[in-house]
Structure 1
Amino acid sequence: MTHNGKMRAVIKPERSPGLEMASVDIPRIGLHDALIKVKATSICGTDLHIFKWDPWARAHINPPIVVGHEFCGEVVEIGQEVTQVKVGDFVSAESHITCQTCAQCRTGNGHICKNTKIIGVGRDGCWAEYIAMPEYNLWLNPPDMPVEIASLQENFGNAVHTAFATDVTARKVLVSGCGPVGLMTIAVCKAAGARQIFATDISPYRLRLALRMGAHFAYNVSETDPVREIMALTDGEGVDVLLEMSGAGSALDQGFKALRDGGEAALLGLAPAAIGFDLNNHIIFKGATVYGIVGRRLWQTWYQMRGLLRSGAVDLTPLITHRFALDDYQEALRVMQSGQSGKVIMFPDGIANKEE
């Protein structure tokens, strides 16, 4: 092992709210692993769950653990049997480490592998100077890709998977929830040629970003009844497709009310707990088709992402609103929680490259 010694990492030290910066061992790699020096890492809603120590986090996290699962970096060491990457490669990573041998993995459904280990959740993550990853989970980036964009591709994959679960081309689409994934989903729908894109949220800041990313109409649900507005603009038909990104019970209720009979819904947002839902009227009598979305299709979604980014069909740059040194993770989390941000990026080496 050439890269031994200690590194800085943000960890969940114990079963309680909060995180802390710690000095931990640089991870060791196996025969099929690579060691990556993290260049940039981004904050996800999952990280907020872990920070707050809510019921989901309490059920899934076993401290101590290094947190974080969205990143890019440079390969600095490879295991003896690694063939897919080499030292010096610029990579991002799929955060879901699957077994590749179960029935789901063998039938093209690795994104729902029951043996999945997620970095920053089930094993050490990337809010650190270094991370070890299986070579299978690494994705080669163009050398000139901005590190901010490269770091959020994993999260972008959630948006691509959700939008492409149905055919949104030339159709009326409602994206409910304009957090970063919702905003990226809007951009994908625009690139795919959606006829009308409606967006809902409670943050004026994020609704402005929704319009910038391609929404035709954006409604603050604390001030406006979006169902009434959508019905008025669709000749009383409603939307063809609901893409639900918030997990809020009220958003699900409004979304399905706005969905036309025979419409399709793709649901990514995680509810904080069990919620009440009008199954009869929202799904059964409506003849609706509903898709549950988890992770990214391996590796179909990643190739779709590559196409959208390299062609210029989707530009994620406006979504990146804040940059922090990893040492300032507390402030970065505060900004992310405020609703006054798009995507928040952190840099283990500081923010000398802030203006990239």
Structure 2
Amino acid sequence: MEKTMLGLVKEKRQPGAVLKEVPVPQVGDDEVLVRVKASSICGTDVHIYNWDAWAEKTVVTPNVFGHEFAGVVEAVGSQVANVNIGDHVSAEGHIVCGRCKPCRTGNSHVCLQTRSFGITVPGCFATYAVVKASNVIHNRKDMPFELACLQDPLGNAVQTVLSGDIVGKSVAVIGSGLIGLMSIAVAKACGAGKVIAADIHPYRLDMARKMGADVLVNSAAEKLSAAIYDHTDGEGAEVVLEMSGNPNAIREGFAGAAHSARVSLLGIPMGDVLLDMEQIIFKGIRVEGITGRRMYETWYQAKGLLEGGVLNLSPLVTHTFTLDRYEEAFDLMIGGRCGKVVFLHETMEHSSTELHCGKYAYQTV
């Protein structure tokens, strides 16, 4: 008899999701089966849940979604040598071919044949998940699962911040969603100068302050580019980290960038973006497109920051839910009334307790 489990499924190509019984995934020779202990909602998951234009052209349905997780290995394939039953793990979500030119030249994060965990293959909003053993990231057993599941988005922030020089530079972080908030903390930890955080939600701006931002800009109340110039002695931001995907915010980011600035783009645009190309050209702006994490350099950088104690993610996890409360969880994310929302897969109680586990400590509120 086929074993089943609970999974949060994007069943139809329309807004919403359904929690239902699905088959426990089978483990291939080069794969591992992980019992998921904690998973977290990403902005990408919100795109999938809302079913926007990006989701329509990208996401495979029906499919268990979710890609940020931590858990314990329960089974390994016959060819797996680097992972053992009982290991505490997370995983890189890009499943790459290893044969194309990007893969063979150190750029596998942009593999031409990429499959994406929780987007084009089954993900982690379920009791179990199967991942390639080569994609496994080992976690210390003293790291709480609620923190370990944040490493995937932390990697996005680390790659965005460190895709160019950051030390002593003025930085504008546009969009104080979760990866934006992480980017503020990473920038400060890596020696950035003044960090300006922009968003339209007061809650998120307050979170940005807690994560270390020096200046807060409500871009619904004032012109973003003008505010950036005001807080950089009229020079503009030397580094612009665009996390929102809002077309107008993207344009304002380029407008507020300094001459010879670096603009790193991570936010998924919600529509066509009309840019002033002459401004980009004559300012000498360098534009970086950011996707995922560099495999696996970014993971080691993120782990070094966490384990070295220089990166404080303690204010981020504000709510925890079980999967059966997914509608409440996504409503919070969509409304911008939360920090990081984490699903706890083996408890039915809402957690609001302070966790202390070695050097890792944070508060859910």
TM-score by length of 1: 0.97
Q: Which runs of 5+ in 1 are unaligned?
A: none
Between the two proteins, the alignment pairs up a number of residues equal to 353
After superposition, give the CA deviation of every residue in 1:238-262 in whole Å (9 maximum; x if it has no partner).
Answer: 1111111111112112211211111
One-letter code aligned to 1:323: T
Q: 1:237 Cα deviation (Å)?
A: 1.0
Are the equivalent residues in 1 in contact too, given 2:322–2:349 (CA < 8 A)? no
Are the equivalent residues in 2 in contact too, given 1:323–1:351 (CA < 8 A)? no
What residue number does 1:220 align with? 218
> How has the CA–CA distance of structure 1 residues 25 and 315 changed in structure 2, closer, same or farther, with 3 Å as cutoff?
same
Aligned with 2:122 (options 121, 124, 148): 124
After superposition, give the CA deviation of every residue in 1:274-313 in whole Å (9 maximum; x if it has no partner).
Answer: 12111111x1111111111011000000000011100111
What residue number does 1:304 align with? 301
Are the equivalent residues in 2 in contact too, given 1:71–1:93 (CA < 8 A)? yes
Q: 1:233 Cα deviation (Å)?
A: 2.7
Alignment of structure 1 residues 1-356 onto 2, 5 Å: 5-281=3-279, 283-352=280-349, 354=351, 355=353, 356=355
Are the equivalent residues in 2 in contact too, given 1:319–1:343 (CA < 8 A)? yes
Identity across the alignment (%): 43
Deviates more, 1:172-181 or 1:270-279: 270-279
Q: 1: distance between equivalents of 2:234 and 2:56?
A: 44
Which ranges of 4 or more aligned residues in structure 1 deviate by more than 4 Å?
A: none
Q: 1: distance between equivalents of 2:14 and 2:260?
A: 45
> How has the CA–CA distance of structure 1 residues 144 and 351 changed in structure 2, closer, same or farther, with 3 Å as cutoff?
farther
The RMSD of aligned alpha carbons is 1.3
Q: 1: distance between equivalents of 2:337 and 2:296?
A: 33
One-letter code aligned to 1:97: I
Q: 1:58 Cα deviation (Å)?
A: 1.2
Q: 1:4 Cα deviation (Å)?
A: 5.8
What residue number does 2:360 align with? none
One-letter code aligned to 2:289: G
Q: 1:36 Cα deviation (Å)?
A: 0.2
- SS for the counterpart of 1:275 is coil
After superposition, give the CA deviation of every residue in 1:134-159 in whole Å (9 maximum; x if it has no partner).
Answer: 10111000101011110110011100
Q: 1:352 Cα deviation (Å)?
A: 4.8
Are the equivalent residues in 2 in contact too, given 1:327–1:348 (CA < 8 A)? no
Deviates more, 1:83-92 or 1:56-65: 56-65
Are the equivalent residues in 2 in contact too, given 1:326–1:350 (CA < 8 A)? no
Q: 1:184 Cα deviation (Å)?
A: 0.1
TM-score by length of 2: 0.94
Q: 2: distance between equivalents of 1:353 and 1:132?
A: 27
One-letter code aligned to 1:154: D
Are the equivalent residues in 1 in contact too, given 2:39–2:342 (CA < 8 A)? yes
Q: 1:340 Cα deviation (Å)?
A: 0.8
Are the equivalent residues in 1 in contact too, given 2:247–2:270 (CA < 8 A)? no
Are the equivalent residues in 2 in contact too, given 1:205–1:339 (CA < 8 A)? yes
One-letter code aligned to 1:133: V
One-letter code aligned to 2:315: P
Are the equivalent residues in 2 in contact too, given 1:120–1:126 (CA < 8 A)? yes
Q: 1: distance between equivalents of 2:221 and 2:350?
A: 40
